[in-house]
Amino acid sequence: MTKRLMQGSEAVAEAAIAAGCRFFTGYPMLPFTELLENMAAKLPAAGGVCINAASEIEAVNMALGAAATGARSATGSCGQGLALMQEGIAELALNELPVVIFNMARGQQDYFQATRGGGWGDYRTIALAPKDVAEAVEHTQLLFHLADLYRTPVILYGDYVIAHASIGVDVVPLAFPPTPPKDWVVDGTTSGTGRARQIWTWALGKPNTPGPGPSRAWEDIAAKYGQIARAEARHDVDRGDECEVLVVSFGTTAVFVDRVVEDLRAEGLRIGSFRPITLWPFPGDALDHATRGCSHVLVYELNGGQMVDDVRMHAADRSVVRSIGGVSQDNSGMRQGDLLSADVLRRRVLDAVGLPRGAS
Amino acid sequence: MTERAVLFTGVGGQGLQIVSKTLAIAALAEGRDVLLVPRYGGAMRGGKTNAELTVGDGALRALPVVTSAWAGFVMDPSFWESIRPHLASGAVVVVNSSLFHITVDVEDARVFPIPASDLAAELGSPMSAGFVLLGAFVAITGLVAVDAVVDAMRQLVPAYRTQHVEANERAIAAGAAAAPPLAAPAWTDVAAMP
């Protein structure tokens, strides 16, 4: 194993290519820009194509077109750019096209966007939130697999720290079970046979090859998301010895929670941590189980209170759920602010459970 | 297990990002684990440019936000206040004294003024001032060997900039020569290192 110093964006680009990504497109926007630069530099040598789009709307629709031909296709931006892509993401879902969408977010304010989406129709997006660069390399590869397995758009929720932090990495290609054959792609092979394929949101088909129509098609798609919700929820939990306090967080923030939990536990507090790895599907059953017996469930997220909704929905006792995060943005606008701090988190945990700040 | 965190500060155009990355590559090549987080925004030349580097053995415990750094690497006074509160007491602070004339208000700081910009200008390569200060920094601390810095710099300079490799190498050597050797060692066994 040889580790090379790589910025998160470079490591994620290499992971995407290792996972078979052969089409990438996007419009520059910090902190996503470096991923686009790395794909532009590396993808042609792997036999792929990277196109600098004229806008995020163009990018998501080009990614849709590439996916329709069967290519492993991806795009991305930060949350502001994903806001523009919402119609395209809904179309991807309702046309059952696999595309990986990288949200190199400027903070944690895109939780609702990642888990609820802003398009139309009955769809969800599988959203993975890695806590560091090493996990982002694994999640990137897993996402290409899940996108093909379920024929759905999926999201990697990264951030400034994951996009820009450099560590020594060795991008190891991961093996996954085979995915279903892409017998639906529009690649010209059946042209002129009377059985040319069609990908259309309304699923009406053509006169000699009628489709199921919108109601049946969308019912099946909605059912598919129910199946994904049951099968793909992932989480990380550390309850120690029957914790009384459980801190819930996602992404980079969880690294700070791990540290504070470790320190406070050493000082005698019965404290644990819970992290949804998939923001959607939210690991609700696991959270229900993890929060049993807890007198404090503290949600540390750097936004006005988004994931806390899901935590309240699933906690064993929702009356003990409380937010200890908040909106916190660096003045550059590109990354989390001063609330991303082990010291601040420690104080907020101790305040929430009614212990003096100096010791527990 | 020892972990050493270094906070870098400068302004865009001084080469701070390439210098911090050079040190990270050198440390990785010497078998250490590293975590390097650059801090820059939309502004480029003249804008704030910082970096945080943690070097240690084995899996790092370091968080991607350094709040109590062992050392400061100060190319420029403009954004000094953005790192000063995050330097630990007793921190090693290596400053580019050609530009930095502020009293280092950090408890028990060990301050090493190196006229990096002047030395680089004397060498005829003012652009390499960052490498002068890096040469001095590693000579003072032994965080990595001076030769490892030269190797890392050679790896990092892109193909279209190789004309600067020799000047950078001279800059690293000049910085190392201008610094008190191992005046603030990073590792307990550093004196034994070649």
Tens-of-pLDDT digits for all 194 residues of chain B?
789 999 999 999 899 999 999 999 999 999 999 999 998 876 677 889 999 999 998 778 888 888 899 999 999 999 999 999 999 999 999 999 999 999 999 999 999 999 999 999 999 999 999 999 999 999 999 999 999 999 999 999 988 989 999 999 999 999 999 999 999 999 987 654 43
CATH architecture, range A235-353: 3-Layer(aba) Sandwich (3.40)
CATH code for the domain defined by A4-169: 3.40.50.970
Per-residue DSSP letter, B163: G
Q: Region A270-288: what's the mean pLDDT?
A: 97
Residue A211 has pLDDT above 70, yes or no: yes
Report d(CA A151, CA A220) in Å as an integer.
12
Question: With an 8 Å Cβ cutoff, are A3 and B37 in contact?
Answer: no
Asked if B65's CB is within 8 angstroms of A168's CB, the reply is no
Asked if B67's CB is within 8 angstroms of A166's CB, the reply is no
Picking from B25, B38, B63, the nearest residue to A255 by CB comes out as B63
Residue with tokens 């031909």: A69
**d(C-alpha A308, C-alpha A294), whole Å:** 16
- Taking only the tens place, the pLDDT of each residue in A228-254 is 999 999 999 999 878 899 999 999 999
User: What is the secondary structure of B78-93 as a DSSP string?
Assistant: TTGGGTGGGEEEEEEE
Strands of A99-252 (E only): list them: 99-105, 126-128, 153-159, 166-169, 205-206, 209-210, 235-238, 245-248
Mean per-residue pLDDT for A311-319?
A: 97
Q: Which residues of chain A does CATH 3.40.50.970 include?
A: 4-169
Contacts of B160 in chain A (CB under 8 A): none
Least confident of A20-34, A152-166, A185-199, B69-83: A185-199
pLDDT at B62: 84
Task: Verify whether the Cβ–Cβ distance A255 to B64 is below 8 Å.
Answer: yes
Region A73-87 average pLDDT: 98
Interface check for A255 against chain B (CB to CB < 8 A): the answer is yes
| Tokens found for residue B94 | 């290596």
Q: Which residues of A, range 118-177, sit inside 8 Å of B by Cβ?
A: 132, 161, 164-168
Instruction: List the Cα angle A145/A171/A150 in 5-degree steps.
Output: 5
Q: Which two tokens mark B70?
A: 């062992």
Q: What is the DSSP letter of A328?
A: -
Per DSSP bridges, beta strands B33-40 and A166-169 are antiparallel
* Residue of A168, A333, A334 with shortest CB distance to B33: A168
Contact in structure between A346 and A322 (CB atoms under 8 Å)? no
Residue B39's DSSP bridge partners are: B50
Chain A residue closest in CA terms to B35: A167
% of chain A with per-residue pLDDT over 90 = 87
What string of DSSP letters covers A72-123?
-EEEEE-HHHHHHTHHHHHHHHHTT--EEEEEEESSSTTHHHHHH-SSSSS-
Evaluate if residue A355 carries a pLDDT over 90. no
Domains held by chain B: number:
1
Please give the interface size between A and B, counted as residue pairs whose CB atoms are below 8 Å apart. 55
Q: How far is A292 from chain B (nearest CA, A)?
A: 30
d(CA A81, CA A111): 14
Structure tokens that stand for B14 in this block: 């001084």
| Nearest-neighbour CA in chain B from A219: distance (Å) | 44
Question: Hey, are the CB atoms on B63 and A164 less than 8 Å from each other?
Answer: no
Cβ–Cβ under 8 Å, residues A325 and A352:
no
For chain B, the distance separating the N- and C-terminal CA atoms, rounded to the nearest angstrom, is 22
Write the burial class of residue B14 (CB in 10 Å: 0-12 exposed, 13-18 middle, 19+ buried): buried
Q: Select from A4, A168, A334 the Cβ nearest to the Cβ of B41.
A: A334
Half-sphere exposure of A1 (CA within 13 A, CB side): 8
A252/B contact by beta carbon, under 8 A:
yes
pLDDT of A360 above 60? no
Chain B residues with beta carbon closer than 8 angstroms to that of A134: none
Chain B positions touching chain A (beta carbons under 8 Å) = 21, 24-25, 28, 33-38, 40-42, 61, 63-65, 67
Between CA B153 and CA B165 the distance in angstroms is: 8
CATH number at residue B68: 3.40.920.10
Is residue B147 in some structural domain?
A: yes
Give the model confidence (pLDDT) of B98-143 as tens digits.
999 999 999 999 999 999 999 999 999 999 999 999 999 999 999 9
Cβ–Cβ contact A11 with B under 8 A: no
Gap from B122 CA to chain A (nearest CA, Å) = 33
- Taking CA–CA distances from A29, the nearest residue in chain B reads B42
Question: In sequence order, what are the beta bridge partners of A297?
Answer: A246, A321
Which helix (H) or strand (E) element contains residue B177?
A: helix B165-177
Sequence length of chain B is 194
Does some domain include residue B121? yes
* Torsion angle defined by CA atoms of residues B65, A327, A33 and B66, in that order, rounded to the nearest 10 degrees: 0
Residue of A nearest to B43 (CA): A332
* Strands laid side by side in the B110-114 sheet: A4-7, A166-169, B33-40, B48-56, B3-11, B69-74, B87-96, B110-114
Which part of chain A is CATH 3.40.50.920? 235-353
- Identify the domain containing residue B12 by its residue range: 3-187
CA distance A244 to chain B (A): 25
Apex B113 CA angle, B109 and B117, nearest 5: 140
CA A193 vs. chain centroid, Å, equals 40
Contact B61 A259 (CB under 8 A): yes
B192 part of a folded domain: no
Give the nearest chain B residue to A166 (CA atoms). Answer: B36
Distance in Å, alpha carbon of B31 to nearest chain A alpha carbon: 10
For residue A207, pLDDT beyond 90: no
B34 chain-A contacts, CB cut-off 8 A: 5, 166-168
ipTM associated with this complex: 0.86
List the beta bridge partners of residue A22.
none
What is the per-residue pLDDT across A329-347, written as a single tens digit (0 to 9) for each?
888 778 888 889 999 999 9
Q: In sequence order, what are the beta bridge partners of A7?
A: A166
Contact residues, chain A, for B21 at CB < 8 Å: 5, 166
Whether residue B64 and residue A167 make contact (CB cut-off 8 A), yes or no, is no
What are the chain B neighbours of A167 within 8 Å (beta carbons)? 33-36
C-alpha atoms less than 13 angstroms from C-alpha of A233 in its C-beta half-sphere: 15
